[in-house]
């Protein structure tokens, strides 16, 4: 009995430093964000702020021109499009990489990993300056050679959204291809041979056999990617929203929206309310995914 108590005490002693650290650095600021969200703190009320209840939340959710709902819509569209393209393209690529007798498979895989290996912000800045820049970007140089007018890629909402999505796919596909590739390699080949003998074509085999077979294997990675895509900040921020170098496009994901309200327009209370709303959404999304996963497992 006493031994067990000492054991539990030991277990707590080992984990408590980490918990204290996380509590102070991560949990407390989240709570403080919650507190700020109930105040009218902004640059003029740095010290003289007062509690105004849930007015910031009401403004974010019901004042249509606050911009939060639009940014939420953009984020949902962004997530849906990115996930669809990622899953389809990664599946096709992984299938092609697994075709027998493809000798240089390893080399291709290594080269295709580069976008994942590069520091993300460096890649995005290289895309912005090297490819999309109106003057010396490669895209406009190609257009120039074809005798066409230069395009301001990042200035319009739609073209900036599509450009950002392209860059995000470029960044995220290597991880997804590797996951799919690993899943395909773990499948039992004999399972498919009988289907080929039965005369099933590639598409039928993919839809009826391969996809259901790899679903449970890629599940966790897909869910993780779903969350990272929803929480994507870097691409849109660095491509269009850099302080002092905005490109004119007015697209926001929820995260860039919260950042802009805190550090550009200095609406601290409002930004904190937005942050808390995003946090609630992430938690509910996580719970929903958990319930569905458990149902699948049962």
Partner 1 sequence: MRKNIQRVGLLFLNIFFIALCFGVLIPILYAFSVSLNAQDSLIGADFRFIPRDFTLEHYRAVLFDYPVLLWLSNTVILAFSSVFISMLVAIPGAYSLSRLRFKGSRPIVKSLIMLHSFPAILSMFALFRLLMPLGLINTRTGLIIIYVGTMSIFGLLNMKGYFDSIPSDIEEAAQIDGANKRQTVMLILLPLAKPAIVVTCMMVLIFVWNEYIFAITFMTGASNYTLSVGLFSLQATEMAGSWPVFAAASITISLPVLVVFFAVQRYMVSGLTAGGVKG
Ranges within 207-226 binding partner 1 (CB under 8 A)? 220-221, 224-225
Among 7, 73, 216, 248, binds partner 1 (CB under 8 A): 7
**Of the two residues 161 and 259, which places its CB atom closer to partner 1 in the complex?**
259
* Sign of the dihedral defined by the CA atoms of residues 173, 169, 205, 217, in that order: positive
In the region spanning residues 141 to 200, those forming contacts with partner 1, defined by CB under 8 A, are 141, 144-145, 170, 175, 178-179, 182
Among 248, 279, 284, 296, binds partner 1 (CB under 8 A): 279
**Of the two residues 179 and 251, which places its CB atom closer to partner 1 in the complex?**
179
Q: Is 84 in the site for partner 1 (CB under 8 A)?
A: no
Residue with tokens 């430093």: 17
The contacts of residue 246 (CB under 8 Å, 6+ apart) are 240
Among 67, 81, 227, 250, binds partner 1 (CB under 8 A): 227
Whole-number Å distance between alpha carbons of 177 and 185? 12
Determine contact, residues 269/52, Cβ cutoff 8 Å: yes
In whole angstroms, the minimum distance from the beta carbon of 74 to partner 1 comes to 17
Q: Is 231 in the site for partner 1 (CB under 8 A)?
A: yes
Residues 117-146: x/- map of binding to partner 1 (CB under 8 A)? xxxxxxx-xxx-xxx-xxxx-x--x--xx-
Q: Please give the backbone phi and psi of residue 47, each rounded to the nearest 5 degrees, phi first.
A: -110, -20
In the region spanning residues 44 to 63, those forming contacts with partner 1, defined by CB under 8 A, are none
| Bridge partners, 39 (sequence order) | 51
Whole-number Å distance between alpha carbons of 116 and 172? 7
Determine contact, residues 52/38, Cβ cutoff 8 Å: yes
In whole angstroms, the minimum distance from the beta carbon of 212 to partner 1 comes to 20
Whole-number Å distance between alpha carbons of 124 and 129? 9
Determine contact, residues 272/37, Cβ cutoff 8 Å: yes
**Of the two residues 53 and 119, which places its CB atom closer to partner 1 in the complex?**
119
Among 11, 162, 196, 211, binds partner 1 (CB under 8 A): 11
| SS3 label, residue 67 | coil
**Of the two residues 99 and 158, which places its CB atom closer to partner 1 in the complex?**
99
Q: Is 111 in the site for partner 1 (CB under 8 A)?
A: yes
């Amino acid at each position: 009995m006493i031994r067990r108590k000492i054991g539990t005490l030991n277990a707590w002693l080992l984990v408590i430093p980490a918990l204290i650290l996380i509590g102070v650095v991560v949990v407390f600021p989240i709570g403080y964000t919650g507190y700020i969200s109930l105040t009218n703190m902004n640059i003029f009320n740095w010290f003289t702020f007062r509690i105004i209840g849930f007015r910031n939340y009401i403004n974010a959710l019901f004042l249509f021109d606050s911009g939060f709902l639009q940014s939420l819509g953009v984020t949902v569209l962004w997530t849906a499009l990115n996930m669809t393209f990622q899953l389809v393209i990664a599946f096709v690529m992984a299938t092609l990489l697994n075709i027998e007798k493809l000798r240089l498979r390893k080399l291709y895989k290594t080269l295709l990993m580069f976008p994942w290996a590069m520091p993300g912000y460096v890649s995005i800045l290289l895309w912005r300056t090297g490819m999309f820049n109106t003057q010396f970007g490669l895209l406009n140089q190609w257009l120039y050679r074809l005798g066409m007018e230069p395009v301001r890629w990042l200035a319009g909402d739609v073209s900036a959204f599509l450009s950002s999505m392209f860059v995000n796919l470029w960044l995220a596909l290597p991880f997804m291809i590797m996951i799919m590739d690993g899943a395909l390699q773990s499948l039992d080949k004999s399972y498919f041979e009988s289907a080929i003998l039965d005369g099933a074509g590639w598409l039928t085999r993919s839809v009826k056999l391969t996809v259901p077979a790899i679903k449970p294997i890629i599940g966790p990675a897909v869910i993780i990617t779903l969350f990272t895509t929803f929480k994507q900040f870097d691409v849109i921020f660095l491509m269009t929203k850099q302080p002092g170098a905005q490109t004119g496009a007015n697209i926001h994901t929820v995260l860039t929206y919260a950042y802009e309200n805190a550090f550009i327009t200095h609406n601290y209370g409002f930004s904190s309310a937005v942050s808390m709303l995003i946090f609630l959404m992430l938690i509910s999304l996580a719970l929903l995914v958990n319930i569905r996963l458990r149902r699948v497992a049962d």
